[in-house]
Amino acid sequence: MIRTLRTLACALACAFALAGCNETRFEAPLGDNIETCDVQWKGLWTPADEKPGEGPGAEHANAFFVDHECRFSVLDQPERGAPLKQIHVPLNFVHDGGNHYLVVSDAQLKGLVKLDPPHAVAPVPEKSFFYARYRTHGSRIDLYDVDAERVAKLILDAKLDGTIDKTATELHVYVRGNRQAMLDMVRRHAIFADKPVTLVRSDLSVEAYEKALLERQRAGAR
């Protein structure tokens, strides 16, 4: 999901940290009132701009599933034609002032993607966090990644405490502060991207999604 779904990936890092070569990590979770479930996320989700059987991801696993117990899993295919694996990623949810956020630590993403420690941060923290903001519209979710350029400017303007590591092709931002400082930050500053990644809830079960995917892959191999 981190490039599997530029989605949570985006958001989470990809969708959460691997959104291109820009990433923003935070020292602490977002406040104290953190929940482990939002029932509006239950179901099988795919990118809204990808119609079944069409688009660049039509022959690749590009979905995630939230089951009846609110366990979030990315559908991963180790290799073309292989059965899908469900990789569990513990997500956390924060609701504040009518806004809704996802929070995930880099430690929780280890089963999904290899992440280096935060750049230019010493000593290396035991863990760091990625955020995304979301809005739900029935069977659609708009997911907004953190805008690393905006956050970097806030640090340069001394409005946030943190570090910036920038090269010609990469931007790595780390924001320092405790849980309350992080909550104050999202209340006061526009740190999220203007354009969302939109997800839609599929009518398919995971089994039906896998079957359709494998059929497309077999057809494409002919």
Asked whether the predicted pLDDT for residue 98 surpasses 60, the reply is yes
Distance CA 20, CA 7 (A): 12
State residue 114 phi and psi, 5-degree precision.
-90, 120
Average pLDDT of the chain to the nearest whole number: 85
In the chain, which residue ranges form alpha helices assigned H by DSSP? 8-12, 148-156, 179-188, 206-220
In 2-127, which residue ranges form alpha helices assigned H by DSSP? 8-12
pLDDT digits (tens, 9 = 90+) for 30-60: 999 999 999 999 999 988 876 544 444 456 7
Asked whether the predicted pLDDT for residue 94 surpasses 70, the reply is yes
Average pLDDT over residues 111-118: 78
- Give the per-residue pLDDT at 15: 41
Question: Coil, strand, or helix at residue 135?
Answer: strand
Q: What's the half-sphere exposure (Cβ side, CA atoms, 13 Å) at 63?
A: 30
- Give the per-residue pLDDT at 222: 58
The residues facing 145 across adjacent strands are 132
Q: What's the half-sphere exposure (Cβ side, CA atoms, 13 Å) at 87?
A: 17
Helix or strand holding residue 96 (H, E): strand 92-96
- Give the per-residue pLDDT at 114: 74
- Give the per-residue pLDDT at 174: 97
User: For the ranges 64-78, 147-161, 182-196, 207-221, which has the lowest average pLDDT?
Assistant: 207-221
Domains of the chain: 8-17+33-146+194-220 (2.40.128)
Residue with tokens 């090269």: 167
Asked whether the predicted pLDDT for residue 20 surpasses 90, the reply is no
**Percentage of residues of the chain with pLDDT beyond 70:** 85
Asked whether the predicted pLDDT for residue 188 surpasses 90, the reply is yes
Q: Find the length of the chain.
A: 222
